[in-house]
Amino acid sequence: MLRGFTTITYFADDVAAAKDWYTKVVGIEAYFVRPIEGPPAYVEFRVGDYQHELGILDGGFAPHDRSEQPGGVVTYWHVDDIQASVDRLLSLGATLHEKPIERGPGFVTASVVDPFGNILGLMYNQHYLDILASKSRG
């Protein structure tokens, strides 16, 4: 039934500022922006080895009440160096949510809260690397 995620959506009250921040984080420009003119209500990036979609949506469209506290589902993005990734995100204005923790051999997680109140999960995940390697061989 679940074949993979299509889009991760974060909310921001200032989508333009979030777009600029995530452009620095992912190192690419958003490929999709709506509206085309004026302040954006939604932007989307294609990120990583599988070109997953990272969307930023105006917080006014959130289907739930957004509290002042970060919360909800944590999606973990694979990174090759947890501590370097955490340090970079902190230098860009994120705050530490959970320090790096080894969860088992080949699995380390951490998370930060972006400047817009969303939890951004990071994981060094050996399984991810194994799947990626098998795809490049086949």
Pick the CATH number of 72-138 from 3.40.50.2030, 3.30.360.10, 3.20.20.10, 3.10.180.10: 3.10.180.10
Which pLDDT score is estimated for 54? 96
Entry field: residues in the chain = 138
Joined tokens for residue 98? 């959970």
Label residue 2 by pLDDT band (50, 70, 90): low
The least confident of 13-22, 25-34, 55-64 is 55-64
- For residue 103, pLDDT beyond 70: yes
Q: Pairing state of beta strands 52-58 and 76-78?
A: unpaired
Helices (H), the chain: 15-26, 82-91, 126-137
Domain boundaries, the chain: 1-60, 72-138
Q: How far apart are CA 82 and CA 125, in angstroms?
A: 10
pLDDT in tens, 121-135: 999 999 999 999 998
* pLDDT at residue 120, as a whole number: 95
Give residue 78's identity as a one-letter amino acid code. H
Please state, in angstroms and rounded to a whole number, the distance separating the CA atoms of residues 119 and 69: 10
Site of tokens 């902190």: 90
Cα torsion 81, 82, 85, 90 to 10°: value is -150
CATH match of 1-60 with 3.50.50.60? no
Which pTM value belongs to this model? 0.87
Nearest to 80 by CA among 137, 112, 122: 122
Amino acid in position 9 = T
Q: What is the rounded average pLDDT of the residues 100-122?
A: 94
- pLDDT single digits (tens) 34-89: 998 999 999 999 999 999 999 999 988 887 777 777 766 789 999 999 999 999 99
Beta pairing class for 32-34 and 42-47: antiparallel
Say yes or no: do domains 1-60 and 72-138 share a fold. yes
